[in-house]
Chain A
Amino acid sequence: MRWFWVDRFTEFVSGSHAKGIKNVCLDEEVVDNYCPGFPVLPPTLIIEGMAQMGGILIAEHFDFRKRVVLAKVGKGKFYAPAKTGDRLHYDVRLDAVQDNGGTVVSTSHCEGELQAEIDLMFAFLEDGFLVDGPLFEPGDLKVMLQIMNFFSVAVDANGNRFPTYENL
């Protein structure tokens, strides 16, 4: 199972925001199994999708030099279930960053209606804490970002399209 909970980036502006989409499909085991007879994307995995986008938004802000992990879900409000056939539009905004963490505020919309609001806080693992070295095998994060269409839409801190990063 691949732990990808956003299908595609549709917009990415360094230090500002990221947008992406998540399609809810009946062939996903977790959608089928979570609430038998009422297939929905579990809210926790909507949070995970936001966290993947938010983590990338913050990591990119530091040229992917920080080891960014989700530390806290500050707010999670869900206004409608994410049902099969729904396309969720995620919008993740950089809220604040420090040298040891950052926060994002994010929303999910479906057919123009607010579906969820999630606030997240990320922390940076200091060297030697929990694990040594990078959190991803060399090249793995880059491949993940390519699959998610990141490089096709991203604009880096200098306003450049199709950015490249030494640390990926």
Chain B
Amino acid sequence: MALSEEEIFSKVQSSLEDALGVDDDEVTMDATLVGDLGAESIDFLDIVFKLEKAFDIQIPREELSPEDILTNSQYVQDGVVTADGLAELKKRMPWADLSDFEADPKVQNFGNLLTVGDLCRYVGSKVND
């Protein structure tokens, strides 16, 4: 059964409150997981577990963390993601808004890219396929 955007947001919000110990009013669509909500690397594993349970989905590691692209010399030169790398990221993560990252595609900037909205769109792509 398809879920509405509101239903998806509500479950994502609840999962992030549990995983990150943040208040519901902090979890807005524009909030970044790392910068605004304080997520650390280990929290992403926790978020994956909580989303899998909340939505009864499977989340392969590479879908949310494209480390294989960001560490591949074919797609990264001098710490900057190449045009080919950006194309690969867009293909892998069509649900993510990469426009800010495209303006300054340093690998180090990728860590603070994902927003709550991205996560909702990702989950939506899984449950409403």
Residues of A bordering B, CB below 8 Å: 71-72, 74, 95-96, 98-101, 103, 121, 123
Minimum distance in angstroms from B123 CB to a CB of chain A: 16
- Residues of A contacting B: mostly: strand
- Residue among B18, B43, B45 facing the most chain A CB atoms (10 A cut-off): B45
CB of B42 within 8 A of CB of A71, answer yes
- Residue among B42, B46, B48, B49 facing the most chain A CB atoms (10 A cut-off): B49
Segment 24-47 of B: residues with Cβ below 8 Å from A: 42-43, 45-46
* Alpha-carbon separation in the docked complex, A123 to B19 (Å): 15
Known: A96-B53, A121-B46, A123-B42. 5 other contacts (CB 8 A): A71-B45, A72-B43, A95-B49, A101-B49, A103-B49
* Alpha-carbon separation in the docked complex, A100 to B64 (Å): 14
Report the interface size for chain B: residues with CB under 8 A from the other chain: 11
Residues of B bordering A, CB below 8 Å: 18-19, 42-43, 45-46, 48-49, 52-53, 61
Minimum distance in angstroms from B16 CB to a CB of chain A: 13
Q: Which A residues are CB-close (under 8 A) to B61?
A: 98-100
Closest A-B pairs by Cβ, 3 of them: A101-B45, A71-B42, A96-B49
CB of A72 within 8 A of CB of B46, answer yes
Minimum CB distance partner of B43 in chain A: A72
* Alpha-carbon separation in the docked complex, A120 to B42 (Å): 13
Q: Which B residues are CB-close (under 8 A) to A95?
A: 49, 53
Q: Which B residues are CB-close (under 8 A) to A121?
A: 42, 45-46, 49
Give 5 pairs: A residue, B residue, CB < 8 Å, sorted on A: A71-B42, A71-B45, A72-B43, A96-B49, A98-B49
* Alpha-carbon separation in the docked complex, A98 to B45 (Å): 9
Contact of A74 among B46, B48, B52 (CB under 8 A): B46
